[in-house]
Structure 1
Amino acid sequence: MSFLLSPMRRAAYTSTSTRAFSTTRAAALARMTIVGRLGTDPEISESAAGNQVIKYVVGSSYGPKDNRQTSWFRVASFAPQGSGARDYLMGLQKGTLVYLEGDATMRTYDDADGKKQSSLSLVQTKVEVLKRPQQQSTENGALGV
């Protein structure tokens, strides 16, 4: 006994059974998207290769209000000196709500006690400010926008 599909059903089956593909190897790309608040003001430091890097932390919360959990992500940006992107990042402050896209890399290492540890590194590829934190006004203790 054979199973035959009508031409209409065969066309529907064929179109849903195809898969999309990319020319990029799967192992060559790991991208993360995060919406969260800056946990620190961005800081400039120097990488092991001698390049300046902007580092900051983004916290993203999830779960019900009575049991909210926060995940913290360390982010690096290699915006060149004198660029508008670098000035933009350095102008952000703790509490700013951002949309972040970054390339992710997971590495495993042995800590000082010889225990295996893992670390997730994010290199920013895109950042957008969604909301700036409210500024406290010194006049009458009122909050400003």
Structure 2
Amino acid sequence: MLALSGEVSDRVQSRLARVQLTANLSPTRVHHRLASYTPLKPQTPQKSPFQAVNMSATLFRRAAVAPRIVARAFSTSPTHNVARISIIGNLADTPELHATSTGREIVKYAVASNSGSRENRHTSWFRVTSFAPEGPGRDFLQSLPKGTMVFVEGDASMSTYQDAEGKTRSSLNVVQRNIEVLRRPATGTPASE
């Protein structure tokens, strides 16, 4: 433990003991800072006993402060803009397979999401595109019937286009990242036992 001679109070000694304990727990962060300070030399009596405490407290604060790292805590990669959307609603129809102009197959479907009270109910329609590769994921998506309640997470982007009348229109594009089935529609046939 660090020992200081002179008129140092018990409170300062206990603080220094905590610094030593911290140095033992994390020697790379605190111990090298303590080594750079020289111990206090006995000084002439001071006017006030609190001056010794204040000086020791200042040294304690300087010794206890670990080097600060200025960095983002969550990532070291550069930031990117993100537009994400989460939708809970019912499938408007069974998802359909389409081919793009380059020949890539995609699955398109629409989700109807209701908001507002029963008297002021408003339905929003979202067109969703899935780039799921051929396999079980795509087969599962295409097997979902109309009316299935789903939770869709996707990337959102806005695009503008000219309609047949020459007016500029905007549309929201949603590219599916994840889909979860919350509830399947009632089929009308009794469940098998």
* Mapping of residues 59-138 of structure 1, within 5 Å: 59-81=112-134, 83-137=135-189
Instruction: Say which structure, 1 or 2, has more relative contact order (CA 8 Å, 6+ apart).
Output: 1
Distance 2:73 2:155 in 1: 22
Q: Is the 8 A contact 1:30 1:103 kept in 2?
A: yes
Q: For each residue in 1:43-94, what CA deviation from the matched residue of structure 2 results, as whole angstroms up to 9, or x when unmatched?
A: 101012210011100010000111200000001111111x211111011010
Q: CA deviation at 1:24?
A: 2.7
1:56 is matched with 109
Note if contact 1:134-1:144 (Cα within 8 Å) is conserved in structure 2. Answer: no
1:24 and 2:102 equivalent? no
C-alpha RMSD of the superposition: 2.0
Q: Distance in 2 between matches of 1:24 and 1:109?
A: 29
Gaps of 5+ in 1: 1-18, 138-142
- Cα deviation, residue 115, structure 1: 0.5
Amino acid at match of 2:80: R
Cα distance in 2 for residues equivalent to 1:20 and 1:117: 41
Q: Identity of aligned pairs, percent?
A: 50
Partners of 1:42 and 1:25 in 2: how far apart? 31
- Greater CA radius of gyration, 1 or 2? 2
- Structure 1 CA distance for aligned equivalents of residues 183 and 129 of structure 2: 21
Is the counterpart of residue 37 in structure 1 residue 90 in structure 2? Answer: yes
Structure-2-length-normalised TM-score: 0.58
Q: Which has the higher helix share?
A: 2
Evaluate the alpha carbon distance shift between residue 64 and residue 20 of structure 1 in structure 2; reply closer, same or farther with a 3 A threshold: farther
Q: 1:144 Cα shift?
A: 5.2
8 A contact 1:136–1:144 mirrored in 2: no
Structure 1 segments (4+ residues) deviating >3 Å: 19-23
Q: 1:21 offset after TM fit, Å? A: 7.6
Instruction: Give the paired residue count.
Output: 119
